[in-house]
Amino acid sequence: MEAATPAPPPPPPPPDPAAAAGAYPVRLEAHNQGEYNRFLPLIKWLLALPHYIVLLFIFIGVAVSALIGFFAIIITGRWPRGLFDFCVGALRWCYRVQAYVFLLTDKYPPFSLEDDPSYPVRVEIPYPEHVDRWRPLVHWLLILPYAFVAAILMYVAQIVAFIGVFVILFTAKLPQGMFNLILNPFRWQLRAGGYHLWMVTKYPPFDWDEG
């Protein structure tokens, strides 16, 4: 009797489209919720005050973590994993609050450093297994042109958000074009911060639509 022919192995899963496209590893994702509470934008800044108070102390911790990370990378070529995760969590918390205040979502942000898949705004920065030891010495200089453009775009986002308050007040909606004019500057700002803190070694792209 002939031996049964073994079944062929299953095909590999399809590649991640974002990875295949070489998407930038520092990512901020948000989606237009469609219907907004008309009057909530008028008081979001007030409702977010407890977050800003907590974030003040958290970013003191980020400054200390960055100082330790600076010397750790120069000596070992690696970010201490716990400190890296703390910094990512702080950025995640900060951008959830900013997204709430700047009209990207009506859902109140959680008081947490952890990723929340149910929250409509998400920040992802993968851990780098190795960072060249020279990078902490020069990233602050290399990022200046990009950070300058990001700062200008953030002023644009503030103006659009101010106008958006009145658009939502009368229509209960934020047009997708205005939504993108707020979201994309946030992406630029996050990418600049991630590169500045040696959390990513790939220089951020001068690309308006890059996620």
Q: Taking residues 156-161, report their average pLDDT.
A: 97
Q: Taking residues 15-36, report their average pLDDT.
A: 76
Domain coordinates in residue numbering, the chain: 26-196
What are the φ/ψ torsions at residue 21 (nearest 5 degrees)? -85, 0
pLDDT given for residue 19 in this prediction: 41
Whether the pLDDT of residue 209 is over 80: the answer is no
Whether the pLDDT of residue 18 is over 90: the answer is no
Q: Which of 114, 119, 100, 87 is nearest to 43 (CA)?
A: 100
pLDDT given for residue 119 in this prediction: 96
- End-to-end CA distance of the chain, in Å? 58
Whether the pLDDT of residue 24 is over 70: the answer is yes
